[in-house]
Amino acid sequence: MTTLGFEAALELLRELRVVAVDEMEEVALGASRGRVLAASVAADRDQPPFDRATRDGFAVRAEDFNVGELAVVGSVRAGQRWTGAALGMGEAIEIMTGAPLPEGADAVAMVEHVVRKGEQVRAAVGRSLVAGENVVEQGAEARAGQVLLPVGNVMGAAEIALAAACGRARVKVWRRPTVAIVATGDELVELGTASALEPQQIWNSNSYAIAAMVEAAGGEAVRLPITPDVREAVAASLERARECDLVVLSGGVSMGEYDLVEEMLLAAGAEFFFTGVRMQPGKPMVCGRLGEKLFFGLPGNPISTQVTFHCFVEPLLRRMCGEAGAAPRWGLARLAKEAEGKPGLTRLLPGRLDGVEAWVVGWQGSGDLAANARANCYVELPEGRATLAAGEYVRVLLR
């Protein structure tokens, strides 16, 4: 069995050939947030489709505005177009932001930069214009037919707005990969099945955390029933989990007598890429292929589960969704307080990121969910560093 360094494990998964789900579906634009485009979105017309005013003010000829008073001959607002004669010498047309520039005008004088008396306007003291000022030319943002959102784009608010501006009420996206979630352990109790717990029992939190992370990464979570530490039960759960596109297990991957996941994966014919990573928390994790399906066996301690998911499962799942080049979401921050590393391990500890500074929050080990909830990132303390001083720069894993 193989234990890898943290960076080596990241590199292995980065180089792993992952086949994206190749089934597409069409969804309403409003339901596309977080989905990955399977067909590109092109501009339906020039953007903007006309020379557009970017300020409230007066449409003018710049050379006229710079030399004297102009007669205001009308007004035009967004959603209208000027239907009068082309703007002549010595004339101005009041215009609102977003309105088409009237024929004959070549600039917009901002309302704050003019002095108006009745139906006459002139430049305020010290103000002048050049042609094209406060105007976006037709097609400056995009030309009709130009691809603006290519295949593989993840749809967020900005992308949805752009697709809407192209007249797209529906878009084609890749099907969301299904992810089987198997929580193992005799100590686990499903929410809603008991009014109280015995001292030796705990509520099943990992299934819910993994499901939330799967959905955030673009997958479809399939939570399977809690699996007890019994060989037949683990084998049955694995068989059912293989119906999904990806298998994620939590618990049962350490070296204890009842840690059966690795044993039962081997019995099912699994190929292991690695069976441990030199990191804390999260060292006892496994990854490999079971038939045609990839699997991850994550540690059962909750913070270990979440850290390893963000590092390893999330980028791979995003690639399965069609997001090319997906990787862990790293940031860079300056340590606000001294932090202790650990020989031989990369540490990824619950931390707080505030602006450019980050620090490790107080925690009681990888089962401390309250500390994890106080954190908003994980601070990386590299392998080989015993102590990192305040002021040093470190990577932070965003979540």
Together in a domain, 15 and 70: no
Together in a domain, 30 and 159: yes
The model's pLDDT over 180-195, given as tens digits with 9 standing for 90+, comes to 999 999 999 999 998 8
**320, 349, 364: which is the final residue of a domain?**
320
**136, 166, 195: which is the final residue of a domain?**
136
pLDDT of 21 reads 85
Together in a domain, 265 and 351: no
The residues near 193 (Cβ < 8 Å, ≥ 6 apart) are none
Tell me how far apart the 2 most distant CA atoms of the chain are, in Å. 92
Q: The domain spanning residue 390 has which CATH number?
A: 2.40.340.10
Measured over the CA atoms of residue 374, residue 378, residue 384 and residue 390, the dihedral's sign is negative
Together in a domain, 234 and 281: yes
- Angle value at C-alpha 306, between 304 and 310, nearest 5 degrees: 120
In the chain, % of residues over pLDDT 70: 99
Stretches in the chain below the pLDDT threshold 70:
1, 255-258
pLDDT of 258 reads 61
Together in a domain, 164 and 272: no
3-state class of 360 per DSSP?
A: strand
Together in a domain, 102 and 75: yes
Supply the Cα-derived Rg of the chain in whole angstroms.
30
pLDDT of 253 reads 84
Output the pTM of the full model: 0.87
Domain count for the chain: 4
Domain extent, residue 14, equals 3-22+176-320
pLDDT of 259 reads 80
Domain assignment of residue 325, yes or no: no
Query: 10 Å Cβ neighbour count for 79?
Result: 9
Together in a domain, 258 and 376: no
Together in a domain, 147 and 269: no
Q: Which residues of 5-15 are buried (b: 16+ CB within 10 A; e: fewer)?
A: bbeebbebbee
Query: 10 Å Cβ neighbour count for 168?
Result: 17
pLDDT of 373 reads 97
Q: The domain spanning residue 68 has which CATH number?
A: 2.170.190.11
DSSP 254-308: SSSTT--HHHHHHHTTPEEEESEEEEETT-S-EEEEETTEEEEEE-SSHHHHHHH
The model's pLDDT over 295-328, given as tens digits with 9 standing for 90+, comes to 999 999 999 999 999 999 999 999 999 998 899 9
Nearest Cα residue to 53 out of 149, 129, 126, 119: 129
pLDDT of 1 reads 66
Query: 10 Å Cβ neighbour count for 337?
Result: 13
Distances from the Cα of 21 to the Cα of 29, 37, 178, 238, 253, angstroms: 20, 12, 10, 21, 28
